[in-house]
Every structure is written in structure tokens, then in C-alpha cells.
Amino acid sequence: MVEIGSSCTEQSLIKLIRQGEIYEPNYLGNKDILVIGSKIARIEEHIEISPDMKELEVIDASKCLVFPGFIDGHLHFIGAGGRRGPSSRAREISPTMLIRAGLTTVIGFLGMDNTSRHIPTLVMKAKGLRAQFLNAYVLVGSYVIPPPTLTGSIEWDLTLIEEVIGLKMAVGEPAASHPSEEEIIRSIAEVQRGGLLSGKTGVVVIHMGDAGGEWFHKMQDILKKTSLPIEKVMFTHVSRNKQILEEAAEYALSGGFIDLTANHSPPHRPKAVPVPEALSQLWKQGVPTSQITVSSDGNATRLLDDGRIVPSPIDSVFEQIIATIRRGCDIAEALRPVTINPAVRYGLQDRKGSLVQGKDADFILLSKDLQLLDLYSNGRCLMRRGEVLIMDYL
């Protein structure tokens, strides 16, 4: 059998994860996971292995929890920020940063800056992350209308470019373009057509600024007028203050999807509602967990009230979900907003978001006290016992 500790490129294509306590995200108990290539081949109480099978790596997970790899649906691959000039721009992320954050799948965006940041660079970054065995996708668009694209067309980008899966827009921000109703309808319809032609879900993610609360109702009116599906439009940053969170709950109860931002929490944002509290409030208002996702908005920069500029962390999704679990939340319920829910929202559920036979082998191993130990993405072990196993070329 192959010795544990081999490098990423030298790993066996067959791996047996023995007796981990598995959350699919539903609780499955202690089971074996057989990985062949990039896929989960079997999950059973006990998997017998022929002694003649030499190309096999066995990992003892009997003291570990096994979760699906986390999905961060709002991350700035190539950096964001810039509100304080050139010195306030964030740099590109590296694969190691994602791995240490427990992330196996990430969705990249542009921020306010579409002058020095470009969609071609974003797409190429996604390709680079994929070459390092991670899963990366892109939303075109930014703060401006018409939205920046790669081909000149939202529809063409979705149809022709594998990594592109949707569109980002911004409302309620002084620096945004303040799109008209006609511009919004035209953009969403383009996403719809591109999704149909490409076989992708075609999601529209709307950045919610501090003054954006009225847009929940505006968007519902627009969607009713056009018969466009509400489930294709998701508002992000809805936990930036209590009032917006309450209005977001109404939008979710009407069938829309909402995204909490893990980086929006005091003291950097005094009015923000941290993820554990936001989830609790939404559940009390009757919002189904299936309508909620959690993302980081990581790798941007933030201007604080005292004039300091700080980077927005990449590991906040992991930290906030672990904090939610530590507060006594059911583990499966806490995992859904960062596993199966974003997988469904971005049309990746056939491959991502849960530990099911036939899906991609994306999962993390944690100690019983919820410390991240190992990370597997597409069947490759990228972190073992806290040590990252790939070289950071990006």
C-alpha cells in the first residue's frame, strides 16, 4: 500500500478513508469512503479491500469528522479594494490560502475596480486554480452597467466559457451605476438565455449596499412583470445591518435566495450581524435553510472608521460556520449554507456540495474539537495534518 505523506502529484488514484464520522451534510455516522480517481466510488459501513490491491492509500479517520468541502460563493480571486487609491488594492489569492480556509470550490467576482481588474484575468485565475486541483468559477459583471465581460456579451460568456456561470450586479452603492429597470431586465434575460444555451443554471448575484433595502421589492416587481424566475436572483451582503436582514427574510420567504457575508461583523462593521446571529434570526422568522448561503467577500480591502485599511480574510466562512456549530447549532444545519445550498444555487449539485457516491471527492477532515486537519479536492489530498501538499505557483 502507498505510504501516507506522498506529494500531491505522486498520490495513489485509489484512497480509502476509514471510519470517519461523516456529515453528508446529513449525519451518516462512522463509515468508510472509497475514492477512485476524482470521484467518491462508495460510502459504506465497512469496505473490504483485496490484499492484492497495491495502489491503495488508506487513511485512518476514526478520530475525525468528515464534512463536504466548503464552497465560498463570493471571493475576489485577483484582489479587490482600491477605495483609498493604488496602495489599498488587495493582491491575488494563492491556492494555499484557499486550502487553509477549508475551501474546495470558489466563485470569483470583480469588485468596484474594473479599471485595473479585468474579466480575462479573472477567468485565467480560475483556470490556474483548477490546474492546482481546486474548483473555480466566475461571475462576469461588476459595479457598472453595461457589465464587463470577456466576449462583449453576457450570453456569449455563459454559453462559450466553461468557468463563467452567472452575473454580478450592484445596487444601493453610491459608486454603482444605479441601473434602470430596463437595464436590469435586459441583463437578467441575457443570463437566462446563456444559461439555457449552455446548460448552466445562470444565476444573478446582486451586491447589496447600505442603501439597497428597497431593491428587494423592486426586484420582485421586475421579476413578476417579466415572468423571470425569482430563484435565479440572489442578494448578497444582506447581513450588513439588521434592517436589511429583516427585509432579506421577506425576500427569501417569497422564494428568493439570500447570501450572508462572513466578513461582515463587528468591530470592523459595527452595524453588521455576525453569521451565527443572522442564521438564528432568519430561522426564527421561518426562512428555510435551503434559501440561505454564506460567503466571505474575501480578499478585498476595507477602510475602517479610524482610517486604517485592512484586508478581508479568506478563512471567515470556515470560522463563522465553526462558530455557529460551537454555539450549539445542529452540525448538518450549519453546513448546508456552505455546501449543498451554494452547489444548488450555482448549478453544481450534480458534482459538488455533498458526500454522495458518484460525486466529486471534495471533503475535509477535522478533529473532534473542529480543527481543520486534511483537505481533499477532486480526489487529491491537498492538505494533510495541517501541511499543504502543493506548490504555490499562483
Burial of 124 (0-12, 13-18, 19+ CB in 10 A): middle
Q: Are residues 306 and 263 in the same domain?
A: yes
Quote the DSSP letter at residue 9: G
Q: What residues in the chain have per-residue pLDDT under 70?
A: 1-10, 305, 393-394
List all residues 6 or more positions away from 281 whose beta carbon is below 8 Å from its beta carbon.
Answer: 245, 249, 273
Contact 150, 122 (CB under 8 A): no
**End-to-end Cα separation, the chain, in angstroms:** 32
Q: What is the pLDDT of residue 4?
A: 39
The structural domain count of the chain equals 2
Task: Give the CATH number, domain containing residue 144.
Answer: 3.20.20.140
Contact 309, 303 (CB under 8 A): yes
Quote the DSSP letter at residue 272: -
Q: Are residues 48 and 123 in the same domain?
A: no
Please indicate, yes or no, if residue 215 is contained in any of the structural domains: yes
Q: Are residues 64 and 92 in the same domain?
A: no
Q: What is the pLDDT of residue 7?
A: 54
Q: Are residues 203 and 158 in the same domain?
A: yes
Q: What is the pLDDT of residue 322?
A: 98
User: Could you list the residue range(s) of the whole structural domain that residue 223 is in?
Assistant: 70-345
Whole-angstrom Cα distance, residue 99 to residue 357? 23
Q: Are residues 62 and 12 in the same domain?
A: yes
Contact 226, 190 (CB under 8 A): no
Please indicate, yes or no, if residue 376 is contained in any of the structural domains: yes
Q: Are residues 43 and 136 in the same domain?
A: no
Q: Are residues 147 and 12 in the same domain?
A: no
Please indicate, yes or no, if residue 366 is contained in any of the structural domains: yes
Q: Are residues 158 and 204 in the same domain?
A: yes
- DSSP codes joined into one string, 182-201: HHHHHHHHHHHHHHHHHTS-
Q: Are residues 51 and 179 in the same domain?
A: no
Q: Are residues 374 and 236 in the same domain?
A: no
Q: What is the pLDDT of residue 5?
A: 40
Please indicate, yes or no, if residue 253 is contained in any of the structural domains: yes
Contact 144, 207 (CB under 8 A): no
Q: What is the pLDDT of residue 364?
A: 98
Q: Are residues 126 and 149 in the same domain?
A: yes
Q: Are residues 140 and 189 in the same domain?
A: yes
Please indicate, yes or no, if residue 50 is contained in any of the structural domains: yes
Please indicate, yes or no, if residue 2 is contained in any of the structural domains: no
Please indicate, yes or no, if residue 393 is contained in any of the structural domains: no
Please indicate, yes or no, if residue 1 is contained in any of the structural domains: no
pTM, full prediction: 0.94
